Structure 1
Amino acid sequence: MVTSPDLIISTKNLTKSYGKRQIVSNLNLAVPRGSICGFLGANGAGKSTTIKLLLGLVQPTSGVGTVFGKNIVNDSVAIRERVGFLAQSPSFYGYLTARETLQFVASFFFTGSKTAIAARIEELIDLVGLNGKADRPVKGFSGGEKQRLGIAQAAINDPELIILDEPASALDPLGRRDVLKILESFRGRSTVFYSTHILDDVQRVSDRVVILDRGRLIAQGSIDELLLGNSNLFNLTLSGDGQTVKSRLLAIPWVNKIEIKTGSPDLTNSRTTKLLIHVSDARTAEIELLRIAMQDPETIVTQFDRSTQNLEDIFVNLVGGGTKYE
């Protein structure tokens, strides 16, 4: 297991089972300090269990893990003292105002003078956009306002690491947008590790992603690395039926498969064909694919480009179509 100071979270073969059911299986996380890391997976993928393991709220069946270089089993109390945490469904005392809620949380986790505490609370109220409602009882808050208050209480002691469990999953698009803006505001001052099953949220705010499928790690890295590393699809549009070119390309070892789509006649009344070409060697394909396709002098290529993918495309490739994501 890597315990470099550059990694704020690191695990090796971390596993959690309940009876014969394995919830998290041989998980090897590596979350760099200072990153905003989206922990992505469907409901039931094992995300919440992983977070509980990292915080020492449940014990691993096997494997090891560290947060801040400290062991998640032996040093769990010391870890939790330095982590800001928001559970998936936060609850508050409804009769307290947002300001009183933060004062209550600060009494446990913030060390400083009354003036410093008051200043920190004002800073967070402004950060999460609750200025006009800070002195209203929480029981009247909307779901989005409660989530924003929850993030504020998680950040009360300016923690090195903020862990959020599905912070935006129950919100409407405007509420999700507000939460994502808050997460982005922590960039440069705290590491943020947040779980979600919403693909678009991760691509909008995160610089790193961890993908979990049925308890198993299937990908992790920067967003750019994942998008580039999995962009092995090329588009080739031809005049005619394209069968000759398809047969020629399928004989090449680095061409995995070709999907063919027949288009409507163009302005010259010629039918066009679009080939979606899946390759194993994208660099070679960029250099050679068009040349090989045009070896036949009668082949007319009207378009050639490398397909750009988003996180949803990569999910479909890695996880398959059987899991539904938002």
Structure 2
Amino acid sequence: MLSTFRQNVGHGDARSDAYVIETHNLSKRYKTGIALKGLNLRIPKNTICGFLGPNGAGKSTAIRLLLGLSKASSGNGMVFGLDIERDSVAIRRRVGYLAQDPHFYDHMTARQTLRFVCSFFYSGPSSVLEKRISDSLDLVGLNDKADRPIKGFSGGERQRLGIAQAYINHPQLMILDEPAASIDPIGRRDILEVMQRLRQYTTIFYSTHLLDDVQRVSDMVVILKDGEMLAHAPIEELLAGSGEVVYELQLEGETSSAYERLSSQAWVKQVSVMRERDQERWYVSVSDEESAKMFLLPLLIQDGQPYVSAFGRKKHGLEDIFLSMVENDK
């Protein structure tokens, strides 16, 4: 739908690489300390990459370096195969950016806003420009509100307009800063759907603290802490964790005998217990999954106690993994 205009946007003569972003030991030092330490990124084309980390982790520093808005102390990087320092202006022409809290002229309509922004990137026939604007509004689900003043837009609608504005020049890379923050669940859902639709046209590199959103839409995750990269992997690989098999159980009643029976099994590595009012939650780490499938539940209820109200293999969540990495610095 939006590919009509690609021949009209100057993309330079850069070589076509598998990676949109690639850095090698990229570092930044200030007088007050080290903001970024040896960052090595490889972000493939048409990837949605969640860029995570606590406040002060170095995310903003990394983005500024990638866009040539700050000079690296050591190391180097490329975006679209172009050097981030030498070719920064050419890089920025091909990047769309969405600030965390985008601001608009509220008296203008969405269509007028995109027409104004588009005029900086395109100077062809007005009919072609108007189609680009209409296509962009349709992409973010705002065609039915295209001619309404922005002052009446909800937070989610403003964010979607911000994404349309960031994409109006058909960038090969979009950098989004907290695109779904501070909006209601319906607005967040709409933003995630827009991001998924954009994947076929561009690469999305976005910072966020909403880990559920990252788990829903991202192909890849990068985690920083204190300027150091703790993780850089496809989300499926990260969610797989260490490969350790853990069963989660919710129990009521007498559990001491069941605890002894399980703990004595050679295939049971550890039993962790959390007490919650009149019930217990157990996490049973096992070395042999087949033995666990066959014997774990029968061993638990061997003498009729305890009552098992929930049982299943524990699923790794991105929040658990993120907190474990950041708090343990592993």
TM-score band (shorter)? 0.7 to 0.9
Distance 2:275 2:154 in 1: 50
Distance 2:189 2:248 in 1: 37
Equivalent residue, structure 1, for 2:315 = 308
Indicate how the Cα distance of structure 1 residues 245 and 224 shifts in structure 2: closer, same or farther if over 3 A, else same: same
Distance 2:113 2:59 in 1: 27
Distance 2:73 2:103 in 1: 30
Distance 1:73 1:236 in 2: 50
1:83/1:163 contact within 8 Å kept: yes
Report the AA paired with residue 37 of structure 2.
S
* Aligned: 1:285 with 2:292: no
1:231/1:307 contact within 8 Å kept: no
2:172/2:202 contact within 8 Å kept: yes
* Aligned: 1:190 with 2:205: no
In structure 1, which of residues 133, 148, 167 is the aligned counterpart of residue 145 of structure 2? 133
Residue deviations 1:98-122, cap 9 Å, x none?
A: 2121111111123543221110100
Shift of the alpha carbon at 1:305? 4.9
1:210/1:217 contact within 8 Å kept: yes
The residue correspondences of 1:44-63 to structure 2 (distance < 5 A) are 44-63=56-75
2:247/2:285 contact within 8 Å kept: no
1:48/1:165 contact within 8 Å kept: no
* Aligned: 1:148 with 2:160: yes
Equivalent residue, structure 2, for 1:68 = 80
In structure 2, which of residues 195, 200, 218 is the aligned counterpart of residue 206 of structure 1? 218
Shift of the alpha carbon at 1:35? 0.9
1:233/1:276 contact within 8 Å kept: no
State which drifts further: 27-36 or 108-117. 108-117
State which drifts further: 285-294 or 229-238. 285-294
Shift of the alpha carbon at 1:246? 5.6
Distance 2:84 2:144 in 1: 40
Report the AA paired with residue 183 of structure 1.
M
Report the AA paired with residue 286 of structure 1.
E
Equivalent residue, structure 2, for 1:259 = 272
Distance 1:33 1:80 in 2: 17
Distance 1:192 1:314 in 2: 22
Report the AA paired with residue 222 of structure 2.
V
Equivalent residue, structure 2, for 1:175 = 187
SS at match of 1:176: helix
| TM-score, structure 2 as length reference | 0.80
Equivalent residue, structure 2, for 1:218 = 230
| TM-score, structure 1 as length reference | 0.80
Residue deviations 1:258-313, cap 9 Å, x none?
A: 31357999xxxxxx98642346xxxx53245568979x9x9779897532122112
Distance 1:304 1:177 in 2: 30
Residue deviations 1:203-237, cap 9 Å, x none?
A: 11112211222322111222211112345241276
Indicate how the Cα distance of structure 1 residues 319 and 115 shifts in structure 2: closer, same or farther if over 3 A, else same: same
Following TM superposition, where does structure 1 have runs of at least 4 consecutive aligned residues deviating by more than 6 angstroms?
A: 236-239, 262-265, 290-294, 298-304
Report the AA paired with residue 68 of structure 2.
G
Distance 1:203 1:236 in 2: 21
Distance 2:59 2:71 in 1: 15
Equivalent residue, structure 2, for 1:317 = 324
Indicate how the Cα distance of structure 1 residues 210 and 111 shifts in structure 2: closer, same or farther if over 3 A, else same: farther
Gaps of 5+ in 1: 266-271
In structure 2, which of residues 141, 146, 169 is the aligned counterpart of residue 157 of structure 1? 169
Distance 1:72 1:320 in 2: 32
Equivalent residue, structure 1, for 2:135 = 123
Distance 2:247 2:27 in 1: 41
In percent, how many aligned pairs have the same letter?
49
Residue deviations 1:28-68, cap 9 Å, x none?
A: 11111111111122333322222221111122222211111
Equivalent residue, structure 2, for 1:107 = 119
SS at match of 1:159: coil
* Aligned: 1:166 with 2:178: yes
Shift of the alpha carbon at 1:80? 0.8
| RMSD of aligned residue pairs (Cα, Å) | 3.4
SS at match of 2:119: helix
Aligned residue pair count: 307
SS at match of 2:288: helix
